[in-house]
C-alpha cells in the first residue's frame, strides 16, 4: 500500500521492490482490489508485453488516515468552547440530517426500515441490534462508532439521532450510554 501511495506500479515492480514472488503480489493485489483499496490504473508497455498498472482506489487514502478521529474530536471541543450548547446541538442535528442524504431511504413498514437503519449503522462501523418495544423499536449498540468524539457529549449522539430520524422517516430519541465505554441506543416510533 505504501508503494502504491507514491505511484502506480505493476505487480512485477512491486515484487521487485519488496523482494517477494510475483504470485504473492498478484494474490495480495487481487484481495485489495476486491476490497476496493486498489484498482487498475492503465497499462505500461514492456519489452515483451504490456503490464497492468495498479494504484490506490479512491477511498484507500481515507481508510489509511488516522487523522479523522482526533481532528473531529478537537473540532467538537472547539465548537463546544465557542458556541452555546443549544447551537452546537442544532448544528449536530443538521449534520445528521445532511449525512442521511448519502443513502437512499428505505421503504416499507417500520420494522423493515429499522432493519435498514441497523445496516446503515453497520456501514458506519457500529455493531447494533434492533428489538421490538411496546410502541416501536430500540436499536442497541455494542459500542459506539463515534466513541472518540462522544466523551459524555449528547450533541454527538443527537447527530446520529437526526441521521436515523431522517433516514427512517420516523421519530427517533437517543438513549445512549456515554460512560467510559459509550454504547449507542435509539428508540424508534412511527412518525
Q: What is the CATH number of the domain that holds 172?
A: 3.30.1380.20
Domain boundary residue among 17, 38, 64?
64
Strands (E), the chain: 9-10, 38-44, 51-56, 128-133, 136-141, 170-174, 185-190
Please give the C-alpha separations between residue 175 and each of 47, 120, 164, 187, 190, in angstroms, as whole numbers: 64, 18, 13, 7, 17
The number of distinct structural domains making up the chain is: 2
**Is 102 found in the same domain as 60?**
no
- 19, three cell numbers: 523482494
Strands 136-141 and 185-190: antiparallel
pLDDT of residue 68: 79
Domain boundary residue among 46, 64, 82?
64
Angle between helices 22-34 and 11-18 (to 10 degrees): 120
pTM over 0.75: no
**Is 82 found in the same domain as 32?**
no
**Is 81 found in the same domain as 46?**
no
**Is 148 found in the same domain as 107?**
yes
Domain boundary residue among 64, 80, 98?
64
User: What's the pLDDT tens digit per position in 159-173?
Assistant: 999 999 999 999 999
pLDDT of residue 105: 95
**Is 11 found in the same domain as 30?**
yes
User: What's the pLDDT tens digit per position in 65-97?
Assistant: 778 778 888 888 899 899 998 999 899 999 999
**Which range marks the domain in which residue 84 is found?**
68-190
Amino acid at each position: 500500500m505504501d508503494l502504491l501511495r507514491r505511484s502506480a506500479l505493476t505487480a512485477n515492480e512491486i515484487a521487485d521492490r519488496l523482494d517477494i514472488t510475483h504470485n504473492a503480489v498478484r494474490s495480495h493485489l487481487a484481495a485489495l482490489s476486491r476490497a476496493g483499496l486498489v484498482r487498475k490504473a492503465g497499462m505500461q508497455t514492456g519489452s515483451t508485453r504490456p503490464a497492468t498498472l495498479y494504484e490506490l482506489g479512491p477511498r484507500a487514502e481515507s481508510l489509511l488516515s488516522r487523522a479523522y478521529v482526533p481532528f473531529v474530536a478537537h473540532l467538537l471541543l472547539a465548537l463546544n468552547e465557542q458556541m452555546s450548547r443549544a447551537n452546537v446541538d442544532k448544528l449536530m442535528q443538521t449534520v445528521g440530517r445532511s449525512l442521511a442524504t448519502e443513502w437512499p431511504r428505505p421503504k416499507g413498514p417500520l420494522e423493515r426500515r429499522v432493519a435498514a437503519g441497523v445496516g446503515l449503522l453497520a456501514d458506519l462501523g457500529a455493531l447494533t441490534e434492533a428489538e421490538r418495544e411496546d410502541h416501536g423499536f430500540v436499536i442497541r449498540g455494542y459500542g459506539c462508532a463515534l466513541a472518540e468524539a462522544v466523551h459524555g457529549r449528547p450533541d454527538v449522539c443527537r447527530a446520529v439521532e437526526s441521521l436515523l430520524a431522517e433516514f427512517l422517516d420516523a421519530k427517533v430519541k437517543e438513549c445512549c450510554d456515554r460512560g467510559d465505554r459509550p454504547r449507542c441506543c435509539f428508540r424508534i416510533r412511527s412518525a
